A = this chain, B = another copy of it.
Amino acid sequence: MSKTNPGHFFEDFAIGQVFEHATPRTITDGDRAVYGAIYPTRFAVPSSAQFAASVGLAASDGSGHPVEELIGFHVAFGKTVPDVSLNAVANLGYAELRFRQPVVPGDTLRTSSEVIGLKQNSNGKSGVVYVRSTAVNQRGEIALDWARWVMVHKRDQTLEAPETVVPELASVVAPADLVIPSRLDFSDYDFAAAGESHRFDDYAVGEKIDHVDGVTLSESEHMMATRLWQNTAKVHFNTEARPDGRRLVYGGHVISMARALSFNGLANAQLVAAINGGSHTAPAFADDTVYAWSEVLDKAEVDAPGVGALRLRLVATKGRDESMTLKGDDGKYASGVLLDLDLWALVPR
């Protein structure tokens, strides 16, 4: 019997099945540093223990200083790859991702996934698998959870299709469902330290922000980032895994790059509270220069002192598009769009 993991195929999934993913992973300040070396992030909360303490997110001596939410996301997500998406044709989407508990150095994350939907494709060669994944820390608290659906190959195309189950997933996390860190307080927010003066009231629904800066991707950087999250998908690391001999950049690398670039114009979007959905609309490769723009989709009150929520569309593009065009007249994504991410961020009022 082979000792190696061949991954799961469409027929290996059943509604209600639960995967306890390997391997748990302890987060450290080393992760913070490597993240900061790979992404141009400057958000004040993960950058400064003192700033975090000033808004209720760390002890006054700086201990318990949260890392970037996306570090938790990438680690938790990477765990699911060997069981869920090793034989994926495509990552189709995310929904209902909520950050429920800040991740701090010393926390160990462990992820499990439950199969919540199955739908075989009409060609009989593949199907869509829906999972709800939950990452818990060493105290058993949920750090984040989310739904995701992927298209997975069938191993045996002669097998009958399972009963179709398509879960109902919210297109947007309702503001009342956002989980605000328990002691978050932006009442004494230090705008000079944070880098910009814009508050909740300065952002208008429909407003677009060109984040101006661009970063040209490099092979070593995207591999190091992806590996740090123990993501094992071959295409990111092995030039022999794709016919074109190129390493595909992990979609999460583009997410983190866009989030970091968005500092310039959204420096006060300190915390990501939820990801409502996201599409990786085109592949990215080394030597692409990635830019980002945002659109304010909605605004909401939240129940924490001095805190408001902005619903933002965060778009990454290959090459700068000052017109900030998402889709053409044909309804298709404009050429150059790499990522269309819909998220809730917490900002000072």
8 chain-A/chain-B pairs, Cβ below 8 angstroms: A4-B264, A4-B265, A26-B49, A30-B32, A33-B33, A216-B237, A220-B224, A239-B289
Question: In whole angstroms, what is the CA distance A255 to B232 when docked?
Answer: 19
Number of chain copies forming the complex? 3
- Contacts A34-B30, A37-B34, A138-B62 known; A195 to B23 CB distance under 8 Å? yes
Which A residues between 19 and 60 are near B, CB-CB below 8 angstroms?
20, 22-26, 28-34, 36-44, 47-51
Residues of chain A whose beta carbon lies under 8 Å from any beta carbon of chain B: 2-5, 20, 22-26, 28-34, 36-44, 47-51, 62, 65, 82, 105-106, 108, 110, 138, 192-196, 198, 202, 209-216, 218-221, 223-225, 227-228, 230, 232, 234, 237-241, 247, 264-267, 287, 289, 319-320
- Find chain B residues with CB under 8 A from A39 CB: 227
| CB-based contact B227/A241 at 8 Å | no
A215 proximity list for chain B (CB < 8 A): 237-238
- Give the docked Cα–Cα distance between A240 and B232 (Å): 32
Max chain B CB contacts within 10 Å: which of A2, A43, A50?
A50
| Cβ of A289 to closest chain B Cβ, rounded Å | 5
In the bound assembly, the distance between CA atoms of A31 and B220 in angstroms comes to 17
Q: Which B residues lie within 8 Å of A289 (CB)?
A: 238-240
**CA A3 to CA B207, docked complex, whole Å:** 10
Given A5-B264, A38-B227, 16 other A-B residues pairs in contact with their CB atoms under 8 A: A3-B266, A4-B211, A4-B265, A23-B44, A23-B193, A24-B44, A28-B33, A29-B30, A30-B30, A30-B32, A36-B227, A40-B230, A82-B195, A213-B232, A214-B241, A240-B289
